Structure formats: C-alpha cells, structure tokens
Amino acid sequence: MKDRLELTLLNQQPEVSRAQDELEKFAARHVFPERKLRELQLAIEEHLTNILHYAYPDTEEHRIVVQFEFNAPELRIEVTDDGRPFNPLAHPAPNLSLPLEERPIGGLGIHMIRKSLDHAEYRRENDRNKFVMIKRA
C-alpha cells in the first residue's frame, strides 16, 4: 500500500530539521528500519543544506517541496527546488585516497548522499531541480 506525505519548506536552515523530523514520523508509521532511516536523514540533510547554500543567487524567499512516499519495501523522497540547475549525480566522486590536505574543498556531502541511498536520480523539469532518493527497508 502506498502512503505519501508532501511538505513545503522555505529556504531557511530550521526547515532542514523540520524535514528530518517529518521523515522520522513518516518512517515510523511504516516500521522502517532505524539504521536505514538515519542514512536517509543524512542524505536529506546534506541535499537540503546544499540547496540552501548554493541554489539561490538571491536572498528572496523560495519554496522547496519535499515528498515522502512509502511503497514497500521502498521509502522514496523527491525534493523539488527552483534554484540554479545542479545535478548532484554528475558531480565527480572525491578521491578519498588522497591525503586530506591535497583534496579539493567540497564534494564530500554529495559523496555521503550517494553512499546513503540505494538509488538516486536527477532531472531538470519546468525550471526546477528534481532529486529523487530511494532507500529500501
């Protein structure tokens, strides 16, 4: 049985915690495994934080739509924003074999997102970024 919840967030830091709290409540309704939920919470925190810091060229208020969908055994999250086009999946993976002082700044959050998920996809549609994150129970 499918279950769905949609949130509209503002591009403000406290909204990241609100999204994580709502995800926790949503996952609890479906007895989603705690360890896998934590991985999803890490992924959504990283993704939303990237949107807040890099997506908007202005200081205006923007809306970010987050949809949670449970369709056993998967929990799917789709995040839609009207920020600059950015495909996190096209970002090269960091070279973790380099010493820390030789690594370029950035990219670790995207790496953590990829490692936390079973599947991810990105598309640009109607001047909006749509990023889908899937985790299986």
At 125, which CATH number?
A: 3.30.565.10
Tell me what pLDDT residue 95 has. 55
Tell me what pLDDT residue 114 has. 87
pLDDT band at 104 (very low <50, low <70, confident <90, very high): low
pTM, two decimals, is 0.89
**Structural domain total, the chain:** 1
Which range marks the domain in which residue 40 is found?
A: 3-136
pLDDT band at 97 (very low <50, low <70, confident <90, very high): low
HSE of 20, CA atoms in CB hemisphere, 13 A:
17
Q: Go through 79-111 and write b for each residue having 16 or more CB atoms within 10 A of its CB, e for each that does not.
A: bbbbbeebebeebeeeeeeeeeeeeeeeeebbb
